[in-house]
Amino acid sequence: MMTTTTTILKPDQDDREYHVFTLENQLQVLLISDKNVDKSSAALDVNVGHLCDPDDVAGLAHFCEHLLFMGTEKYPVENEYSQFLSSHNGSSNAFTSGDHTNYYFDINSDYLEPILDRFAQFFVCPLFLESCTDREMHAVDSEHKKNIQSDSWRGYQLLKDLSSPNHPFNKFGTGNLETLKDIPLSKGLDIRKVLLEFHAKYYSANIMKLVILGKESIEQLKAWTIEKFSAIENKNIEVPSFPGHPFSDIELEQKILIKPVKESRNLSLFFPCKDHRKDYKVHPLQYISHLVGHEGPGSILSLLKLKGWAQALSAGVSGYGAAGFEFFKITIEMSEVGLGFMDDIVVIVFQYINMIRSLGAVSWIYKECRKINAITFKFKEKSAPSSYTSLLAGNLHIYPPEDILSGPYLMGKFDPEVINKCFDYFDVDKFQMCVQSSAVDPVGWKKAAWYGTEYSVESIGDNLKTRLRSLEPNPDLAIPEENTFIPEIFDVDQVKVEPPVVSPSIIRDTALLRLWHKKDDTFLVPKAYVCFEIKTPLAYENVRYCVLTRLYTELLKDCLAEFSYFAEVAGFSYSLENSTDGILLTAHGCNDKLLTLIKKIVQKMNTFPITESTFKRVKESLKRKMKNWFQESPHSHAMYFISLVTQEKLFTNQQKLEVIDEFTLSDVKEFYRHLLDQFCMEALVHGNVTKAEAIELTDAIITEFKTRPLPTKPLETRIYKLPPGTNIIYQKDVFNPKNVNSAIEFCVQIGSIANVKNRTYLTLISQIGQEPAFDQLRTKEQLGYMVYSGVRKQCEMISYRVIIQSERDPMFLESRIEAFLDTLLTLLINISDEKYKSHQQSLVTKLLEKHKNLYQESSRLWSHVASRYYDFEQNLTDASEIPKISKSDLIEFFKENLSMSSPTRKKVSVQMKSQIQQPMSDIDIESTSLIQKAATLLDDTDLEYFKQTLELSSVPNSIYPVDHWIK
């Protein structure tokens, strides 16, 4: 007997129809009908995760997630699902957490029914093919090794390792080759049999939640759901729960010292607490995190900054918990000075907690939080379909159907009793203290099993215990002031334009300012997006000026923190960054108070009220960020160095580190006056803002700066054009000597991005090749977990690229990419007309995909403004050209531009090689030798000389005379 619920509280802007019902097999389903959607989606969440892994096989739930998609009885071809998605502008993914495994996809809305049939079969009759088992073990192992040098992963697993061994939180959730193969084999276990038993035990319809979003009616979606998902077996199992807490008395009042990979000084306090998700009407822990994590005057962070002890603070529910337990986590990024005052910092944290505990839950603070959450929900816009369905599928386990949308947002009646009871979690003898510091000497420390993390466990110390038990009130701490940034005016001009205007207009064009404006005609929300690019060649004239500009923007953000945090709490966001062209200021939020925020930022930019102690703290933090760049993943370094090879001007972190120490506060104060003395500005104002309001805002900014226009137009960054026949390999060692992964970005330059043929032909090749690249290089050859192929867009240049991160030698990876390109050419030659047209249509659909919210449209508009081509209709142009590309012409384009045998191909690759050598077979050595002989190898010495021989691209120019956009 199916049960049904239909009344769901929605945001004002939500025009979709929702329907919740339960199938006879007890699978609860949320259907969403949106007649305007151009991309459909579905997600299924199983209420089981790695906390249910058997003790002998760590990572089994994660392994199950990987192997589930490798074919079904009805659709036995292992990559049939991914091929179908790729052919119809679709994608899929999945993740495993402590008590959830979540599977989701999106696709062109015309193809929801056939993909639902394929998706459902994974939960009805998966094959778990023996031929795929070993491959997917290696995929899990590669995923784990990708994270081994990540401090966040290392810290998370150490928290688990040091929790009570009697609680399932203690488990290693990701798994690796040792836990999935070696250990089971040593115990005589058949891993596939164990996996089938796990699936048979836990994959039951009654602990699953399904969400489907489509353009069809609720009746049609419901019919498909009944037809396709009713066959999932209901085993009537109990939802797994995890009584007790991972922290017993033994784990409390401990200090865990950790040697991190990156240079960092983080102090974290973990407080064991219950799972309060069912208290969503009150959000008691959100109320406490709002106060503890505040950054305004009187806050913990404000005081720590004043003392020079900390740079940042975060507080709230950790997200590490599961059904029955959670952690409240407070993390403080300490300064070098602050490291010597850790106990004092902990005392200040508890002084603040004692203060708000003694006050009890404060009605006006709660009501302020409630008001902000209500505004956020009221004007909540649509988001990407797959992220939406994935989130809702998980939330169906938490909230009743009527609150499935509003539950995470809306707060009910003020209930001080529920909030005050949560203060009991913050007793001075009920926490664990964790210190990540690169300054410690780990001699004699232990090494964690799965990540090799060096750590030591000790008591927090009698002195700190004594101080915490005799706390005095701190007069420098106070609760926040009332938030004046909470919007009050929500008037919107409710006039839609059909079809919506595609391009913004230039409403002011002078030597000092080019102002673009577009009144929102689609989403009709009281929000706006503004972007101001202050262009000055001084900002990137040399490495010294580059670092001085960065110091200036970092100091400004720190100076603005107490003020801007109120805006952030009220739903606003802003960004202030330096670039090769100058300084970029963006802001987004309700238009009612957005202009106030922008004006305040600009005022601080001009007055720059920075103290010496603030300068030292921020400079130290920036220097640490520069150093930590060298510990990032190898594939991110490969991507960076391709930009270094091909971009006209790009200063390295090493160059910046060589000059940063010499700068004083006086240097920055002197420099910023010159920086802002002359510039030109390009701006975009988009949303619920009139032309008059946009002009008023920019006039206020110009008046504040009192600047002069540049005497000449600044030159845009250009790209080096590789000559025909180029075959360059730039080799570098991976900076982190302990990282087992190597990486490559293989990049083939095609030509000007303004050229329609270059764009459309290459994008179509990328569309056709994306799934085969993943299937061949990752799934079948198991080169690495991180495999990507697609288009690289740079100023005035479009290229094709393949990125792989792997334990294999990067020269071998290069040989496999070349082999794949040969395979891709064969695929293009043999592809059927029907399949070819399907890929064309998929790409057209992707290009014409509607924006889901105001921010997405704003981002598109600004990308075209920033490109200097002002090609706002580029997607429409390309969509009209894609169907005209014949298969034969595409093959000739491929042969000329991408085939290794082409004498005109222009290829450069960056190979980041791990310092941990991996053995290669004779066949691998032979194949890499051929690749190496055909290429020119560059090192750091050769690179600059090589770049001097290259021609630079032209500067981007508007596709029409600028007058075309002046209104």
Closest CA to 868 of 761, 715, 721: 715
| 158 vs 173: CA distance, rounded Å | 12
Amino acid at 847: L
Written as six digits, the tokens of 917 are 């050598």
Written as six digits, the tokens of 795 are 């100023």
| 94 vs 730: CA distance, rounded Å | 35
The angle subtended at Cα 37 by Cα 35 and Cα 41, nearest 5°, is 115
Contacts of 225 (CB under 8 A, 6+ apart): 23, 29, 31, 116, 210, 212
Which H or E run includes 746? strand 742-751
Among 24, 65, 78, 926, the active-site one is: 65
The angle subtended at Cα 250 by Cα 248 and Cα 253, nearest 5°, is 100
Q: List beta partners, residue 748.
A: 800, 907
| 386 vs 392: CA distance, rounded Å | 10
| 609 vs 791: CA distance, rounded Å | 44
Return the exposure string of 39-76: e unless at least 16 CB atoms fall within 10 Å of the residue's CB, then b: bbbbbbbbbbbbbbbeeebbbbbbbbbbbbbbbbeebe
The answer to whether the beta carbons of residues 736 and 633 sit under 8 Å apart is no
Written as six digits, the tokens of 31 are 């259907």
Amino acid at 351: Q
Is 336 in the active site? no
Amino acid at 666: S
Return the exposure string of 460-470: e unless at least 16 CB atoms fall within 10 Å of the residue's CB, then b: beeebeebbee
| 347 vs 472: CA distance, rounded Å | 10
| 218 vs 222: CA distance, rounded Å | 6
The answer to whether the beta carbons of residues 422 and 285 sit under 8 Å apart is yes
Residue whose pair of structure tokens reads 């396709």 in the numeric block: 228
Written as six digits, the tokens of 306 are 């004043």
| 699 vs 701: CA distance, rounded Å | 5
| 752 vs 734: CA distance, rounded Å | 32
The answer to whether the beta carbons of residues 238 and 55 sit under 8 Å apart is no
Sign of CA dihedral 603, 607, 613, 614: positive
The answer to whether the beta carbons of residues 585 and 564 sit under 8 Å apart is no
Using DSSP's 3-state secondary structure scheme, residue 598 falls into helix
Using DSSP's 3-state secondary structure scheme, residue 691 falls into helix
| 232 vs 225: CA distance, rounded Å | 11
Using DSSP's 3-state secondary structure scheme, residue 406 falls into coil
| 548 vs 663: CA distance, rounded Å | 8
Which strands sit side by side in the sheet containing 310-317, from one edge to the other?
310-317, 326-334, 265-273, 432-437, 254-259, 454-459, 446-447
SS3 content of the chain, % helix, strand, coil (to 5): 45, 20, 35
**DSSP per residue, 454-518:** EEEEEE--HHHHHHHTT----TT--PPPP-TTS-----------SSPP-S-EEEEE-SSEEEEEE
Contacts of 348 (CB under 8 A, 6+ apart): 300, 303, 304, 474, 477
* Cis preceding-peptide flag for 480 (omega within 30 of 0): no
Catalytic site positions:
65
